Structure 1
Amino acid sequence: MSTANRFDIPTPEQTANVDAAIESRHSMRAFLPTPVARQVIEDILRVASRAPSGTNTQPWQVHVLTGVARQRLSDRIMAVYDDPTELAAHSEEYAYYPREWVSPYIDRRRKIGWDLYGLLNVAKTDKARMHDQHGRNYQFFDAPVGLMFTIDRVMQQGSWLDYGMFIQNVMIAARARGLHTCPQAAFTQFHRLIAEELQLKPEQQLVCGMSLGFADPAAVENGLVTERAPVAEFTRFLEG
């Protein structure tokens, strides 16, 4: 356990380490097969559980998949994903994205898509390769660890806000240990299949999935770093 005093002023080195963990985090889409020790996963989740939540409700529930369990889930999803008839029977349980896109959000969405496909030399008309690349989600981009996050259906919008902070903590704690992640809403389309495979209770709702492992430094797609708007673009300072 950490011996840091919660009232201490961080040293410049500590501040730089935290900033580095945050700024070096970006979604990886290709991982090495190198295993991640269970103790490391537990340490990441323990640290992440310090995320704030309204009245300390701690709404997160995590399902860790490795080895045969991870591969079995991937195989089941891919069998459906590659079958247009079967795929049509699966849809998201909640709307992650807006029903009507407006600028600047649609512009950012399009840019990351074409930036990724550009790195992979996937043409705009190459639907087969786009399908294959999207399907990489369901193979956890070859990461040895897959995480599934669920929440009790009784919890409301505020708890989903809390959940986002927990997921961010998972990703930052992973970076502090030399690991990378890819948070994946793509899994929500297959929530019924995932609930079956993980034997979830009816009151558990899938929030999203995540790939966790050591990033493949040779994979060209891992060179994609998305742009961020400058602080002045999304911030107002009201003084006096």
Structure 2
Amino acid sequence: MTGDLRIAVLGPLEVWRGGVQVQLGPNRLRTMLAVLAMSARETVSTDQLAVAMWAHDPPANQRRSVQTYIARLRHALGPASISTSAVGYRLEVEPGLVDALRFRRLLNEARRSRGTPAERGLLDGALALWRGGAFDGIESEVLSGPEASHLVELRLSAVERWIDLGLAEGRHAEMVAEIQYLADGHPLREPLWGRLLRTLGRCGRQAEALAVYERLRRRIADDLGVAPSSELQRIHLSLLRGGMGAPEPPSSRTERFVATAHLR
């Protein structure tokens, strides 16, 4: 197993070998590495690689073309970096040295540590790995589709949990601007907007919260043709009755979301 490789896909692709950054160049070579990295130390079939690299326009000799790119990748990363099996190829790198896999592991540890002092530190570590959008700059339907969407949803859920922890500590006033920024970046993600409304209400800014709700209601109606979620409507009713009351502990409920996009 190669221990001197580090691969980052939570943003523009970055590859480090022995502390030196490796420039890969062509999009298909970067796509191949990203796909292999997301399954580090697991075999990826030749067909899986070909679909990610060529989508609906595969080369005449698919297997030979994949072999050519594998040879180029080994040249860049070292001959021991990729092993071959009867069905495909395996990137010989510790999963913890691939940022997306480390992100998932930290989130799993945070879930297991829910409600303990360790949870916030694990969330901080996981969220700090992001440098932009997942697979930023790589053109591949496989990576930019379900794979990226899943990572983005994990990130947003982690952000929402991170917000809940801060609000449970009573840090409403200092978190308003951050939550507003995040909500603006995700104009139809109702769980984020619900947190903003609660935070404004608990800061005594009911009039502002009501104005925010009305703008959100119109946006949801215009863009989606539906009413806000029952949770948002409940928050709105509470605001109309005079505020949000005392802060609630972090919620473990699964809240619906309407849209996702990368943060920052």
**What TM-score bracket applies, with the shorter chain setting the length?**
under 0.3
Q: Which has the higher contact order (CA 8 A, sep 6+)?
A: 1
User: Which structure has the highest strand share of the two?
Assistant: 1
Bigger-Rg structure (1/2): 2
TM-score, normalisation: structure 2: 0.23
More helix by percentage:
2
